[in-house]
Amino acid sequence: MRALIAIYARVSTEEQAKHGFSIAAQIRECRRLAGGAEALVFTDEGVSGETLARPALEELRKRIEAGEVQEVVCLDPDRLSRKLLHQLLLTEEWDRLGVRLVFVNGDYSRTPEGNLFYALRGAISEFEKAKINERMCRGRREKARQGRVLRDFQIYGYDFDPNTEQLVVNEEEAEVVRRIFKWFLQPPPGITGMAGIARALTEAQVPTKRGAAKWHRQVVRQILSNRTYLGEFYQNKWDTSGGRVRLRPQQEWILIPCPPIISPEMFTAVQLRLSVNSRS
């Protein structure tokens, strides 16, 4: 198969919404640089540039590995990746396979000066992305400190009101929450423990928050342990940076008061029973 020029274009959902980046515009500029030559086009739309796990990019790498591509044209290094390490990894990989990588915005020739400029451009792109993320996180924390719920967290027993940015009680679901707590403390005949509660709700055809027909023991446990039902909803509780989810120190949590569904006495009794069961 005759080797071809490949065009790669990418835009994330955030960039599309805020900056109006266009896949079509990127392809148009790349075709102009390619001089009208036949080209394969690979596009990742609504995909972050911080990961290499992108469908079109993965397909492009396979085609390059198969020897079907001899040149890759891209609008800018940050369309290829937002991370300097990933930019350099792809550059090294394709250089080793004899594939030329060219950009519409900038002549990154394979000279010491060109390599330095390419590396600096990637570092600046990564820095800009980090600044954007930091500003967004700071803005979300400030909204939380103002007592506003950031989004619909899909908490069973509550609905999210986007107008007031508050949690409001969903009475139908709240009644199920009260039933779960009551059944756990005073099991009716035939219902034993969290697994029994989950089975009873499934048999009663009560849908979960996401509309699933089957309840699981772990979902019941999460409800029994959730302090939101006391009227204490916490934001800024989890740190999702770096691709991992970690619990933040409790002093960083931001309390958002909400309507309670369960009394403090019942909640405390359930936590004591959960603790005893866990030790057993």
Q: What is the pLDDT of residue 127?
A: 77
With 0-12 CB in 10 A as exposed, 13-18 as middle and 19+ as buried, what is 69? buried
Q: What is the pLDDT of residue 17?
A: 45
Q: Is residue 10 part of a domain?
A: yes
Instruction: Answer yes or no: 12 catalytic.
Output: yes
Q: Is residue 139 part of a domain?
A: no
Q: pLDDT digit string (tens) for 130-145?
A: 777 777 778 778 887 8
With 0-12 CB in 10 A as exposed, 13-18 as middle and 19+ as buried, what is 164? exposed
Which residues are registered as beta bridge partners of 168? 159
Residue pair 76/103 in contact (Cβ under 8 Å)? The answer is yes
The pTM for the full model equals 0.54
Q: Which domain holds residue 95?
A: 4-134
Among the three residues 78, 101, 134, which one is the final residue of a domain in this structure?
Answer: 134
The CATH number of whichever domain residue 219 belongs to comes to 3.90.1750.20
Number of domains in the chain: 2
**Whether residue 158 sits in one domain with residue 69:** no
**Whether residue 151 sits in one domain with residue 115:** no
Q: What is the pLDDT of residue 76?
A: 86
Q: Is residue 141 part of a domain?
A: no
Mean pLDDT confidence for 100-113: 76
Q: pLDDT digit string (tens) for 223-234?
A: 999 999 999 999
**Whether residue 274 sits in one domain with residue 162:** yes
Instruction: Please report, for residues 57, 65, 67, 74, 219, the alpha-carbon distance to residue 70 in angstroms, rounded to integers and kept in the order given.
Output: 15, 10, 7, 14, 52
**Whether residue 267 sits in one domain with residue 154:** yes
Using CA atoms, how far apart are residues 124 and 87, in angstroms rounded to an integer? 12
- 272 has a pLDDT exceeding 50: yes
Backbone angles phi, psi at 75, to 5 degrees: -60, -45
- 117 has a pLDDT exceeding 80: no
- 259 has a pLDDT exceeding 50: yes
Residue pair 107/40 in contact (Cβ under 8 Å)? The answer is no
Q: What is the pLDDT of residue 109?
A: 64
Q: What is the pLDDT of residue 206?
A: 96
Q: Is residue 140 part of a domain?
A: no
Q: What confidence category does residue 77 fall into, taking pLDDT thresholds of 50, 70 and 90?
A: confident
Among the three residues 107, 134, 161, which one is the final residue of a domain in this structure?
Answer: 134
Q: What is the pLDDT of residue 276?
A: 82
Mean pLDDT confidence for 153-173: 95
**Whether residue 26 sits in one domain with residue 127:** yes
**Whether residue 186 sits in one domain with residue 224:** yes
Q: What is the pLDDT of residue 46?
A: 86
Percentage with pLDDT > 70 across the chain: 91
The CATH number of whichever domain residue 98 belongs to comes to 3.40.50.1390
Percentage with pLDDT > 90 across the chain: 54
**Whether residue 166 sits in one domain with residue 127:** no
Average pLDDT, the chain: 87
Q: Is residue 142 part of a domain?
A: no
- 18 has a pLDDT exceeding 60: no
Mean pLDDT confidence for 219-243: 89
Q: What confidence category does residue 217 fall into, taking pLDDT thresholds of 50, 70 and 90?
A: very high
Among the three residues 134, 156, 182, which one is the final residue of a domain in this structure?
Answer: 134
- 243 has a pLDDT exceeding 70: no
Q: 240 or 25, which is more confident?
A: 25
Mean pLDDT confidence for 176-195: 94
Which residues are registered as beta bridge partners of 50? none
Q: Which range, of 63-72, 77-86, 179-188, 248-257, averages the lowest pLDDT? A: 77-86
Output the CA torsion sign for 9, 15, 116, 90. negative
Give the helix ranges, DSSP H, for 9-50. Answer: 13-19, 23-34
**Whether residue 234 sits in one domain with residue 115:** no
Mean pLDDT confidence for 62-80: 92
